[in-house]
Amino acid sequence: MADAAAPGAATSQAALDAVQRYPREAITIARRVLVDPLADADERSAAERAIGLALRELNELPDALRHLRRAVRVAGEPRVAALAQMSLGYVLASAGRTSAALSAVTAALPRLSGAEAGRARMQRGVVLHYRGRFDEAVRDYGLAVEIAQREGDQLLEARARNNRGLLHANRGSAPGTDGDLHRAAAIFQRLGLDLAAADVGWNIGIAAGQAGDLPGALRRFAAVDEEYARLGVPRPALLLDRFELLLSVPLVDEAAEVAGTAIRELRRRRMASDLAEALLARARAALLAGDLDTASETAAQARVRFRRQGRRIWAAFARHVELRAEFRRGDRSAALLAAMVRTADELDGTGWPDPALTTRVEAARVALALGRAADAARLLDVAARARRRGTASRRARGWYALALSRRLDGDQRGGARALRRGLAVLDGYRASLGATELRAQSGAHGAELAAEGLDLAVRAGTPARVLDWAERWRANALRHGAVLPPRDPELAGALAELRMVSAAIEEALLAGRSGHPLRRRQARLEQRIRELARGANGGGGPVAPPSVRTLAERLGPAVLLELVAHGERLRAVLVRSGRATLHDLGPLADAVKAARLHRFGLRRLVVTGDSAEARAALEHAATTLDRQIFGPLRARLADRPLVVVPIGALHAVGWAGLPTCAGRPVTVAPSATSWLSAGRRALPQGPPLLVAGPRLPAAETEVRLLGEVLPDARRLTGASATAEAVVAGLDGARLAHVAAHGTFRADNPLFSTLELADGPLTAYELERLPRPPGCVVLSACDSGLSAVRPGDEIMGFTSVLLGLGARSLIAPVLPVPAEPTIPLMLDLHRRMAAGTRPAPALAAAARSFADSGDPAARATAAAFVCFGAG
């Protein structure tokens, strides 16, 4: 019998050996043992165990548990039963049944020795890891590594090191993390275990993200994603790691989408443990998005699941989200304060310091609202210790806590110093992010510090300090040096393929065919482009905000008006003739509403045509907005040229349509700092470029007529107006004019497009320009629009071109009809060709339209805005 059984034993072991390399083949091999009438009980147990572990790799947990329970039942030898119990415990933990998992693995330990005891130690560490008992998990992982080295079991050593490295990475304890993970990856590669090596590669990405190397983490995730696709193995639980990385930027919308996908996949596969974490992820994204109902409800669902699974620490994390939602709703009760303090202590005591820090700071604000200053001081003192170590966001939050503590003590200067230190930390973090999108989205991190500093300055009534604080976190991405994306053939290929797919979608729609398959392909390409573009390394640090004196020297006779949102009020700093003044312009909500109505009125006239009702509504909206913003300032403005730095909600205003701005040179800038930088740039001397896009007959006419004004210009029309030719022509041109269909993408502004002969040109592609043109005129609908992110960060063609170094951009913030646009553009270019700067040239051209008496023509002229240096 022993001789007959030997082949079965070898086959069972072959199945176990294949689990991590080829899980589907492992199942096939093991099934041969199960149908072999000569296989004994232990061989059958090993085969069932191999099938269960392979199904775990394929995320089929219910079936995996069924086979592993059978492996325990059919085993003959106690040692074989213990091995099956050990594997059962591992999968039970994955299914969220951590109490049963811990019991199973602990019961298996006494019956195992040598390398098998090491594997059981490692599995016990995994279960303890799931339960949030991190120190005990680290101890068991360490024992497993020692046993593996003593027994010469490289596979065990790699697995234990991988788990220990991941735990350290998730806790933010960097020492030893990279060493463990890189050694594990090397062992797996040496053993030919591609899937295990890919898993470790993903964990190295997690460690990079936790260490603040966001571009490195994104590159790593993208590479490992391709490896998983090659191996044909799904990893839905790893979506949660991608979620963490996206939320750290924060890319809130994309993070919420990933959380939703994870919930669907994990629920379908019945992966209860990871599903609870996915629900918590959705709650956290909803909290950042301001969806407090979803945040509270989903966090409560996650907390119930964590409690059922015996994961007390995770339940505390979910409670933390619930409490933050209550705080955001305005709850300032003693009960909330007590719950926040209790939850912060629990999180801190179990190795989750970042949510504990946030909870303490908000608890201190509750204590202040309750008049319990001593309690607030104690909470802030503990929170302020975080400023010394950890990630950039953690250190910045520590400085924020110190600033609140200083203000509580009456030390306003000390508070301001702490806030500046916190913003400096975040500036360093931003400098490490090369991609425009990541820099723009990261503005959320400094919002509280900047708002606190602004409040200090407003209360002090010092205009120069208000300006300084407004500039410290406004359009900060543009204050950093431009970073060209890496010369990546894969990125270039993906952009070219996206252009072809987009053109095919347009053709399908025009032909009445379904474009759904193409749209799915488009979505996949856009995601790939985002990932590749985000991998750019950072550039230099930020430019310091300018002083009033520096601005005044550059302004000359012009006036700079910087609008500031302070709580529920709209305020303004006005710089004129070397002096800054501070003004209260009234309720912020009133200005936002008036701007929305003014924009609607302009759009109505331009798109639907003239009517007495439309003219009256537009005039009323324009007068209302003009009175609120410029009424208190009219005497100081006189008839001087104007530089406007709007708040985010006013970036889409057609300024030339307001009475005070009509006929006046108006330049709009994302910040005073960016305006100053743009004005200092040398104008490139390359020949002008004129481009006409397809399906727009008026564009050909526009370019032909402009060619008479600019005889040395290079013209790209018809089939020659390809994306590659346009990008080449833009490089170093002193002036560029593009007449084409434009589309603004609010969901991802860097995919906003200008339609060219071979498909749409995206803002992503303009990021690759080594030498931006001096002045760009976009005669394309909505091409001057920008999405606005926290910190008044703008995203779209404006941010890309000004960020690269273009001096000025003239573009419409509304759809514009072709008929009145052509004469407006001709007048504009004639004036610029005669030596007039862009902003005065646009103002004069718009004034001539106003004199024509045609309301639609006036509205068209008001849609065009001069951005940058003017």
- Is the per-residue pLDDT at 568 higher than 60? yes
Tokens of 508: 């399908």
Phi first, then psi: what are they for 689, rounded to 5°?
-125, 130
The single residue listed with the structure tokens 């089939």 is 719
**CA distances in angstroms from 640 to 15, 634, 839, listed in the order given:** 82, 11, 13
- Between 849 and 370, the higher pLDDT residue: 370
Place 432 in a pLDDT band, splitting at 50, 70 and 90. low
Please tell me the least confidently modeled range out of 121-130, 167-176, 554-563. Answer: 167-176
Give the model's pLDDT for residue 646: 96
- Is the per-residue pLDDT at 332 higher than 50? yes
Please enumerate in sequence order all residues whose Cβ is within 8 A of that of 52, keeping only pairs 6 or more positions apart, or say none. 63, 64, 65, 66, 67, 68, 71, 87, 88, 91
- Helix (H/G/I), strand (E/B), else coil: 773: coil
Q: Which parts of 19-133 fold into alpha helices (H)?
A: 23-34, 41-57, 61-74, 78-94, 98-108, 114-130
Query: Mean pLDDT, to the nearest integer, of 569-596?
Result: 96
Give the model's pLDDT for residue 57: 85
- Is the per-residue pLDDT at 380 higher than 90? yes
How far is the C-alpha of 120 from the C-alpha of 105, rounded, in Å? Answer: 7
How far is the C-alpha of 427 from the C-alpha of 432, rounded, in Å? Answer: 9
Please tell me the least confidently modeled range out of 129-143, 229-243, 309-323. Answer: 229-243
- Give burial (CB, 10 Å; 0-12/13-18/19+) of 230: exposed
Dump the DSSP string for 143-206: HHHHHHHHHT-HHHHHHHHHHHHHHHHHHT--TTHHHHHHHHHHHHHHTT-HHHHHHHHHHHHH
How far is the C-alpha of 324 from the C-alpha of 291, rounded, in Å? Answer: 12
Dihedral, CA of residue 648, residue 649, residue 651 and residue 656, to nearest 10: -150
Please name the amino acid found at residue 542.
P
CB contact at 8 A, 390 and 410: no
Give the model's pLDDT for residue 95: 81
- Give burial (CB, 10 Å; 0-12/13-18/19+) of 325: buried
How far is the C-alpha of 640 from the C-alpha of 636, rounded, in Å? Answer: 9
Give the model's pLDDT for residue 790: 66
Please tell me the least confidently modeled range out of 3-7, 429-433, 498-502. Answer: 3-7
CB contact at 8 A, 543 and 673: yes
- Is the per-residue pLDDT at 4 higher than 50? no
How far is the C-alpha of 162 from the C-alpha of 184, rounded, in Å? Answer: 6
Choose among 664, 657, 572: nearest CA to 623. 657
Give the model's pLDDT for residue 588: 96
- Is the per-residue pLDDT at 3 higher than 60? no
Query: Mean pLDDT, to the nearest integer, of 151-175?
Result: 84
Give the model's pLDDT for residue 517: 83
- Is the per-residue pLDDT at 656 higher than 70? yes
Please name the amino acid found at residue 168.
H
Please enumerate in sequence order all residues whose Cβ is within 8 A of that of 864, keeping only pairs 6 or more positions apart, or say none. 654, 656, 784, 810, 811, 812, 816, 824, 842, 846
Give the model's pLDDT for residue 576: 96
Give the model's pLDDT for residue 476: 61
3-state secondary structure 436-472: HHHHHHHHHHHHHHHHHHHHHHHHHCCHHHHHHHHHH
Pairing of strands 808-812, 793-795: unpaired
The whole model's pTM is what?
0.78
Place 777 in a pLDDT band, splitting at 50, 70 and 90. very high
**CA distances in angstroms from 6 to 18, 199, 473, 687, listed in the order given:** 18, 33, 72, 82
Place 791 in a pLDDT band, splitting at 50, 70 and 90. low
Query: Mean pLDDT, to the nearest integer, of 785-789?
Result: 80
Query: Mean pLDDT, to the nearest integer, of 381-393?
Result: 87
How far is the C-alpha of 50 from the C-alpha of 42, rounded, in Å? Answer: 12
3-state secondary structure 330-359: CCCCHHHHHHHHHHHHHHHHCCCHHHHHHH
How far is the C-alpha of 600 from the C-alpha of 605, rounded, in Å? Answer: 9
Please tell me the least confidently modeled range out of 107-111, 481-485, 553-557. Answer: 481-485
- Is the per-residue pLDDT at 441 higher than 70? no
- Between 27 and 488, the higher pLDDT residue: 27
CB contact at 8 A, 501 and 493: no
Query: Mean pLDDT, to the nearest integer, of 573-600?
Result: 96
Give the model's pLDDT for residue 487: 64
Nearest-Å Rg of the Cα atoms of the chain is 31
Q: Which residues of 439-466 are buried (b: 16+ CB within 10 A; e: fewer)?
A: bbbbbbbbebbbbbbbbbbbeeeebbbb
- Across the chain, mean pLDDT equals 87
How far is the C-alpha of 514 from the C-alpha of 516, rounded, in Å? Answer: 6
- Is the per-residue pLDDT at 387 higher than 80? yes
Tokens of 638: 């006189």
Place 444 in a pLDDT band, splitting at 50, 70 and 90. low
Pairing of strands 787-789, 808-812: unpaired
How far is the C-alpha of 17 from the C-alpha of 47, rounded, in Å? Answer: 11
Q: Which parts of 631-684 fold into alpha helices (H)?
A: 634-637, 672-679
The single residue listed with the structure tokens 């005891």 is 117
- Is the per-residue pLDDT at 491 higher than 80? no
How far is the C-alpha of 238 from the C-alpha of 751, rounded, in Å? Answer: 27
- Between 56 and 10, the higher pLDDT residue: 56
Residue positions counted in the chain = 870
Please tell me the least confidently modeled range out of 203-217, 327-341, 735-749. Answer: 203-217
Question: What share of the chain in percent tops pLDDT 90?
Answer: 52
Q: For the chain, how far is it from start to end, CA to CA, in angstroms?
A: 93
- Is the per-residue pLDDT at 8 higher than 70? no
